[in-house]
Amino acid sequence: MSTRRRAGLLVAAAAAVGAAVAAALVVPGPPTRPASDAPEQVPVTSTVLGCTATPGEADVRATTADVPGSTGPGPVRTLRARGGVVRVAGSGQDAVGLLAWRAGTQDATHCPAPRSSWWFAGAGGGLDHRTTLVLSDVDQGAAVVDVELVGATSRVDEQALRDLTVPPGSRRVIALADVAPSSDELTVHVTASQGRVVAQAYDSRRSRVGGRVGHEWLPPSAPPSTDVRMPGVPADADRRTLLVTNTSDRQALVTPQVVTDDGAFVPQGHDEVSVDPGAVAVVPLEAGFDRRYAGIRLRSDVPVLGTVRSQVGDDTAYAAGGETATGFLAAPTSGRSTLLLQGTDEPTGAEVSAWSAEGRRVGGAGVSVPPSGLATWSVPDDAAYVLVRPDTGRGDLVVAVVSSLPQGVAALPLGAVPATVARPSVRLRTE
């Protein structure tokens, strides 16, 4: 990585007048009005990413991806934390394509950009299943946030989760077992009324088989929708459980569908799932997978949130509802990894590539996704991360990667790569 690129990675603790002529008299015309065209896409000039350094044992790694406008693929660097928060920043050309993540022997997660709203499904506050929510402020000003919890039967009203202040450069840690004890199934919604935060949820779950405690970073979910797609169900899962959260005040009637590269089917005994208002439905998915990678699609009459918990040996993996790709996507990989691409009702596809820790391209292909289908791509073993460029002008696409780690399995939705930002295009016109 060049000296200039290294400097770009910072760990913190970094009018026109119109006239009309009539009857030989000059008469002032109407005032000029701006006319807005479609927003112009311009390269990003500043990128800030954030991660919590704890809990768990894993390094934070960062690099730049080979996307238009970037300085090119760089080697993966290991970053150190100060005060429990890792801040990764880039400006100018170094802001384009900036990536960061945490990867351990049992789990993996993105270091995302801060924002004002976060959703996590599959959390818990019970004895054998508990989640720690970490709120990190990597901006220059303080953030004020509310945390809302939806349980298996109703919302959790907890005043201690209102108006939480997170000072700049610090983090706030919330054990859900302290605020919602004995709640094994929780959905978390974080909203910032002031500033922005990076929200991450560290999940611990004791296996029913061997009693071993598995750890996982819950992937953030797309906001509630009437059409939810969840790629990332491992092929070798022993058990799969669908969790559907209804955040509305109306009863939700949800139609689930299992999608594989061989086709799609309705899970046996669950052609329709009814979910009470403000509640989480737990739906076992048992038959029909035949050791195939899969995605789940939910269609509902009211917006819902979805995730799939897969038990693989003593470990768990979560396939969250993904956001539709609008640009480049990336995710870390480790060991044996498989990319899962899920579309909607139109054919779509993407160009995929794999990159080593030294910044070298180690594989790539064009992948087509059939209507209402799923496509898979085997990632080379020596890859450190994958990069995906969805086909433009075709159907919607969500993407996840499933990796076999030294002590477990991880399913991770691909995150957006900073490349361009929309800048309104304004021109002056007269009428």
The pLDDT assigned to 200 comes to: 96
Q: CA end-to-end span of the chain, whole Å?
A: 54
φ/ψ of 84, rounded to 5, equals 85, 0
How far is 243 from 282, CA to CA, in rounded Å?
5
Identify the pLDDT of residue 426: 56
In this structure, are residues 39 and 424 in contact, taking their beta carbons and an 8 Å threshold? yes
Residue-wise burial string across 363-395, b where 16 or more C-beta atoms lie within 10 A, e elsewhere:
beeebebbebbbbbbebeeebbbbbbbbbeeeb
pLDDT of residue 2: 44
Per residue in 345-390, pLDDT (tens digit) is 899 999 999 999 999 999 999 999 999 899 999 999 999 999 999 9
What pairing do the DSSP bridges indicate for beta strands 98-103 and 108-110? antiparallel
At a CB cut-off of 8 Å and minimum separation 6, what does 8 contact? 71, 89, 90, 91, 92, 93, 94, 95, 98
Q: Give pLDDT, residue 81.
A: 67
- The stretches of 39-86 forming alpha helices (DSSP H) are none
Cα separations in angstroms, 152 against 160, 172, 187, 306: 20, 25, 9, 13
Query: Using an 8 Å Cβ cutoff, are 198 and 138 in contact?
Result: yes
Q: Round to whole Å and give the CA distance between 197 and 87.
A: 12
pLDDT value of residue 91: 93
Q: Which residues of the chain have pLDDT under 70?
A: 1-38, 56-57, 81-83, 154, 208-211, 424-431
> Using omega within 30 degrees of 0 as the cis cutoff, is the peptide bond preceding 43 cis?
no
Distances (CA, A) of 53 to 102, 165, 170, 172, 173: 9, 19, 11, 12, 12
DSSP per residue over 141-184, as a string? S-EEEEEEEE-SSSEE--GGGSSEEE-TT-EEEEEHHHHSTT-S
Res 183: pLDDT:
87
Contact 201, 218 (CB under 8 A): yes
Is the Cβ–Cβ distance between 349 and 395 less than 8 Å?
no
Question: What CA–CA distance (Å, rounded) separates 125 from 158?
Answer: 13
The per-residue pLDDT for 393 is 75
| CA–CA dist 50, 47 (Å, integer) | 10
Per-residue pLDDT of 309-354, as tens digits, reads 999 888 899 999 998 888 999 999 988 999 999 998 899 999 999 9
> How do residues 34-60 score in pLDDT, each as one tens digit?
555 667 778 899 999 999 877 766 789
Q: Which residue in this structure is represented by tokens 């990069």? A: 387
**What's the pLDDT score for residue 416?**
93
Alpha-carbon distance of 395 to 369, in angstroms, equals 9
Sign of CA dihedral 176, 182, 188, 193: negative
* Short-list 11, 13, 16, CA closest to 30: 16
Six-digit token string for 53: 């350094």
Q: What per-residue confidence (pLDDT) applies to 57? A: 62
Q: Are 83 and 170 in contact (CB under 8 A)?
A: yes
Structural class in CATH, domain 113-219: mainly beta
Nearest alpha carbon to residue 221 among 199, 205, 193, 206: 199
